[in-house]
A and B are shown apart, each in its own frame.
Chain A
């Protein structure tokens, strides 16, 4: 791979992720506006959202001032390729922070100072997934407000009367939506993991947010759970920004992971309407061969 091409690919990927709302989310927001009365608060919020994301695309400026937590997934066949991509991601993040495309979003936890360039201990979060075939890179920018309302349940949950089955899972997820109200910048998208451990639950839940809103889970039971929860959450009248309306969620994407017999975790990664994520594939030179 040619380092300068890899760098340019990472720069283009991260810049587009910060400044262009993905097409499937944009379409879902336009459809959500149609479900509101033109005189309602909800309708005017969708107007503001659509005008703002149109402006960000045309000016190539950030969709949201909150760059969020920068998450990168790198699928590559060799660690050498991963190392090269990783170093280019870090350099591109630093350059885009200087240019005002990414906000200075990394605090040093011990000194309480901003590191100033979006890098720090474990930041940005870059994960290597060994996989044969062409290298693929995914970038996600997920707002801090939505990260704060993300949550994890350990079943059984006595307060919710949620047992260790999909009915219990349904109750937990609806509780997460109720607790979040508008604070995660509704209408949100839920990435969920059923099973796993405390750590893999969050990782798997977050990775579900890379799925397109219009896809469907290959397992019919999970697919039905996704559509049921989406419909029920949208009947709660929390609405965009929590100010009432018919769309509280744009999507529910559920993944699963094997679990310890004693543990049954349900992890909900709530993401704001401004979920920014793109996946690319690189050719042998490091240039972007296609957007996935």
Chain B
């Protein structure tokens, strides 16, 4: 349950040392990608930015442009599970160091994380201002043809806290919670009103 300060890109050694329950405090560049970016990358598209060791953030920000400068007005995580069909392929092709979003991901992603060295970082959904306040600037916007929400935003963040809920050793907090809650759910089904 360590608190670890980290700068992106993440080194393979740092990724290997992270375990479920650790908190990262991230500074540096992060790269957003939602459904359209994932589908594009998984079907052979070239990434406009280097993804080796990078942090891919499942997020569709709210952005406003003033005097040619983008300002992010809200930027919480979106549900990661929607990218489950693509994420493992993307991890194997591009070798990102971390995937960040909410809700956790499935077994395919967990397997790719173990074989390639990658972690899943969990943020609190809906906390859009908390995370927007950690974004210091918008560095680049790519794949704008997917629309503002689905574009690939390169953001600079400072001291953004994120919880490791899936590590590179095959552990997932989401699996643990789900199997514990299943037991309780089954008990409740058998206790009528």
Contacts and interface: CB of A to CB of B under 8 A. Distances in A.
A45 B74 contact: no
A292 to B, nearest CB: 24
A242 B149 contact: no
A49 B193 contact: no
Given A182-B102, A272-B126, A65 B173 contact: no
B97 interface: no
Interface residues on B, range: 35 or more
Query: Majority SS of interface residues in chain B?
Result: mixed
A63 interface: yes
A120 B62 CA distance: 19
Interface stretch (A7-15, A52-60, A194-202): A52-60
B2 interface: no
Given A65-B59, A113-B147, A236 B185 contact: yes
A169 B102 CA distance: 29
Contacts, number: 169
A182 B122 CA distance: 11
Interface stretch (B4-12, B42-50, B85-93, B127-135): B127-135
Q: Which of A59, A174, A178 has the most CB of B within 10 A?
A: A178
A237 B178 CA distance: 9
Contacts of B131: 52
A243 B128 contact: no
B181 interface: yes
A243 B61 contact: no
Interface in B156-184: 161, 163, 165, 173-174, 177-178, 180-182, 184
A238 B192 CA distance: 21
A179 to B, nearest CB: 10
Contacts of B128: 52, 56, 61-66
Most B-side CB within 10 Å, residue of A102, A175, A182: A182
A203 interface: no
Contacts of B76: 52, 64-66
Interface string B111-154: 00000000000101111111111000000000000011110000
B193 A166 contact: yes
A53 B126 CA distance: 9
Contacts of A62: 62, 73-74, 128-129
Interface in A156-214: 160-161, 166-167, 170-171, 174-175, 178, 181-183, 185
Interface in B26-80: 59-64, 71, 73-76, 78-79
24 contacts: A41-B163, A49-B124, A52-B76, A52-B127, A62-B73, A63-B126, A64-B74, A64-B76, A64-B126, A100-B62, A100-B64, A103-B148, A104-B149, A114-B148, A160-B189, A167-B193, A181-B178, A182-B104, A182-B174, A183-B103, A185-B125, A185-B126, A237-B180, A243-B122
Interface of A: 41, 45, 48-49, 51-53, 55-56, 59, 61-67, 99-105, 113-114, 116, 143-145, 148, 160-161, 166-167, 170-171, 174-175, 178, 181-183, 185, 225, 228, 232, 235-244, 272-274
